[in-house]
Amino acid sequence: MAGIIPFNWVVTSGTTPLRRLPNTTHVISIDGATGEIHDSVRRMKGLYARILKHLATARSGGDFPTIIHTTLNAQNYTGLEAILATWSSNGLADGIMISTLTPIRDAGDESYRLSREQRVWIVSDLLRLKSHYPNFLCMTEAMIRRLHPDHTERFQPALCDTARWIESYDAAGKRVPQCVLSDKADCKECGCIITTLSDGTKRSSIGSMLETAGTMMKTLTLR
């Protein structure tokens, strides 16, 4: 399929060897600037080291477009600047995108759930860091502001472009209700990067829409 579709994302934990695919940007999940933090969030030792090994191997072979995706939660959100500093300088990625944790009913994620104050702080810090990493942080200011609780508190599936227009399926090919996070997701605290890319276009200026579209195309055409 990667050879047929003009632009592709492969979103992966990176903990198995990475395959070189045509027309594809790999999006690698990283939840900390160090192995200690990432492995603690993921609840498994050794994951971070495996990711570094697989990325280094893949990138050593030449063109291998890579975006880091970090989900900030109550345990790692203060390490945002360190994550940006580490991955903008280690030569293993071309950019980074940020989500905030979307609570999932019955997922046992209460210890990771961000408070309103923490989510406000993240938006403020992302806006500050955007000026330091204007190209590496692959988010527009409009995308960052869509993570603010004043914005997400209005979310509901009927108004969400992700839920309305993007279909998701599980590994068995069964349709996932609502969105990739399922109908158990708390929309009012949604921090999904896909929603920041797609949501709010009807309420945005033409300039903001074009800027967001440009950012998405950048992540798809890193080569």
Answer for the pair 122, 163: CB distance below 8 angstroms, yes or no: no
> Does the predicted model carry a pTM greater than 0.85?
yes
Query: Does 105 fall in a domain?
Result: yes
Query: Does 68 fall in a domain?
Result: yes
Structure tokens at 31: 């939840």
Query: Does 153 fall in a domain?
Result: no
Phi, psi dihedrals of residue 71, rounded to the nearest 5°? -105, 115
What's the pLDDT score for residue 61?
A: 86
Query: Does 55 fall in a domain?
Result: yes
What's the pLDDT score for residue 210?
A: 53
Instruction: Report the CATH number at residue 16.
Output: 3.20.20.70
Query: Does 158 fall in a domain?
Result: no
Residue 100's SS3 state is strand
Torsion angle defined by CA atoms of residues 20, 26, 31 and 37, in that order, rounded to the nearest 10 degrees: 20
Residues of the chain above pLDDT 90, percent: 69
Q: In which domain, by residue range, is 105 found?
A: 8-147+204-220
In this model, does residue 218 exceed pLDDT 80? no
Query: Does 199 fall in a domain?
Result: no
Tens of pLDDT, residues 26-45: 999 999 999 999 999 999 99
Tens of pLDDT, residues 92-150: 999 999 999 999 999 888 899 999 999 999 999 999 999 999 999 999 999 999 999 99
Query: Does 119 fall in a domain?
Result: yes
| Domains in the chain, number | 1
- Residues whose CB is less than 8 angstroms from the CB of residue 43 and which lie 6 or more positions away in sequence, other chains included: none
In this model, does residue 223 exceed pLDDT 70? no
Work out the pLDDT band at 197, boundaries 50, 70, 90: confident
Tens of pLDDT, residues 43-74: 999 999 999 999 999 999 888 999 999 999 99
Residues of the chain above pLDDT 70, percent: 89
Residue 84's SS3 state is helix
Query: Does 104 fall in a domain?
Result: yes
- DSSP conformational letter for 202: G
